[in-house]
Amino acid sequence: MTSTVVVGGFFGDEGKGKVISYLAIKDNPKIIVRGGAGPNAGHTIRDGDKVYKVRMLPSGFLNKNASVMIGPGVTVNPDVLLKEIQDFGASGRSFVDKHCGIIENDHLIRDSKGDLKDKIGSTGSGTGPANADRAMRTLKLAKDFTSLSSLITDVPEQINNALLNGHHVLIEGTQGTFLSLWHGTYPFVTSKDVTASGICADVGIGPKKVDDVIVVFKSYVTRVGTGPLTKELTPEETESKGWSEFGTVTGRQRRAADFDFDLARRAIMLNSATQIAITKLDVIFPDCAGVTTFDKLSVPAKAFITNIEKELCTPVTIIGTGPAVFDIIDRRA
Ligand code: IMP
Ligand code: MG
């Protein structure tokens, strides 16, 4: 059995979607299962000239041989999920746990006004209010919705059985370590713990069944919404570095800063990382665009990676060098 958990090391938008879609094709897991908060997440995946923006489906859906599942800890917006299954050709292999909480209209309304919108800068996706109702034990669950009946399964049983039978399972996190309700920059955080332990609880896998934890860092830090960002650059500086980005879910401009070793070190600790993935190396070293072997990186790019390994005492095994799924250097044995 092998299981790999992939989580974000900063504030989300580290490029997990691209890393996960690569691993989903390369490692050919039997199941790709998503933990995390809910449709507040946005992952962008580029396959040839097609660009997919997913909010509910696991980012590993490009591997048509794998089942994609959503764990019981994740809140689900049925409209968003059903549309993504249709649009992205994932019917017949997409499943939700019977205990997933369901986002309804009232949650969307509550999330788009008041402090959640103005102070926290929430995504307005209804995720926070739905999780609040879950804590109040009033949230409805997926098993009570006819529109989801053909998708319902027991996700913890499925993934633990797959592992028992020697298959590979890929567990994908959403958001990032410092958006965790427990470990992040409270109150400017999301409504769940989104570190590796929380993601494992979301999908129903125990701590002793996890083989690898890959923490994904972007080559620089971005944050969308409010909350502290150490050494934040001005919008002009961000623009001049070519780091301007816009949120997948909300379209808001992301704030930016240099790679932050203090945050990264803490993320390694909180997630018990065994490996690091670094994304968007080509954005800070344009001569690395599309490179697929470490040897072919420029000297400063290699130094950037080896310095991260030295500072964080953890191997950088995956390096993103462009937006396409296979713009990757894979240094795993
Ligand atoms: P909520 O999760 O929609 O309640 O938003 C709370 C905070 O987390 C806001 O600052 C959001 O911008 C941020 N956030 C939530 N999900 C993501 C994500 O997937 N990527 C980046 N930021 C996120
Ligand atoms: Mg995102």
Q: What secondary structure letter does DSSP report for 40?
A: T
For residue 333, how far is its CA from the centre of ligand 1 (angstroms)? Answer: 35
Q: Which amino acid is at 125?
A: S
Backbone angles phi, psi at 317, to 5 degrees: -100, -25
| pLDDT attached to residue 249 | 84
Query: Do you know the residue count of the chain?
Result: 333
Best substitution site from 113, 122, 172, 221 to test ligand 1's pocket, by max atoms within 8 Å of Cβ? 122
Is residue 190 within 6 Å of ligand 1 at its C-beta? yes
Is residue 179 within 6 Å of ligand 1 at its C-beta? yes
- The number of the ligand nearest the C-alpha atom of 224 reads 1
Cα–Cα distance measured from residue 333 to residue 317, given in angstroms and rounded to the nearest whole number: 9
**239: enclosing H helix or E strand:** helix 235-241
| pLDDT attached to residue 1 | 62
Measured between its terminal Cα atoms, the distance across the chain in Å is: 17
Cα–Cα distance measured from residue 295 to residue 302, given in angstroms and rounded to the nearest whole number: 8
* Closest residue by CA, ligand 1 atom 9: 122
Is residue 214 within 6 Å of ligand 1 at its C-beta? no
Is residue 180 within 6 Å of ligand 1 at its C-beta? no
Pairing between strand 316-320 and 328-330?
antiparallel
| pLDDT attached to residue 26 | 96
Q: Which atom of ligand 1 is nearest to the CA of 250?
A: 12
* Closest residue by CA, ligand 1 atom 11: 122
- The number of the ligand nearest the C-alpha atom of 14 reads 2
- Matching residue, tokens 């039978």: 165
Beta bridge partners of 60: none
**21: enclosing H helix or E strand:** helix 16-26
Proportion of the chain in helix, strand, coil states, percent, rounded to 5: 35, 20, 40
Q: What secondary structure letter does DSSP report for 254?
A: P
Domain 2-330 has CATH 1.20.1050.40: no
**Residue 309: Cβ-neighbour burial (10 angstroms; 0-12, 13-18, 19+):** middle
Cα–Cα distance measured from residue 26 to residue 79, given in angstroms and rounded to the nearest whole number: 30
Is residue 279 within 6 Å of ligand 1 at its C-beta? no
Cis peptide leading into residue 207 (ω within 30°): no
Q: Which residues of the chain have pLDDT under 50?
A: none
Cα–Cα distance measured from residue 77 to residue 75, given in angstroms and rounded to the nearest whole number: 7
Quick check: 111 and 127 in contact, CB under 8 A?
yes
Instruction: Show Cβ contacts of residue 65 under 8 Å, excluding neighbours closer than 6 positions.
Output: 28
| pLDDT attached to residue 251 | 87
| pLDDT attached to residue 248 | 83
Active site members:
13, 43
Alpha helices in 119-187 (DSSP H): 127-135, 155-164
- Matching residue, tokens 């369901």: 102
For residue 100, how far is its CA from the centre of ligand 1 (angstroms)? Answer: 19
- The number of the ligand nearest the C-alpha atom of 43 reads 2
| pLDDT attached to residue 93 | 98
For residue 213, how far is its CA from the centre of ligand 1 (angstroms)? Answer: 22
Is residue 175 within 6 Å of ligand 1 at its C-beta? yes
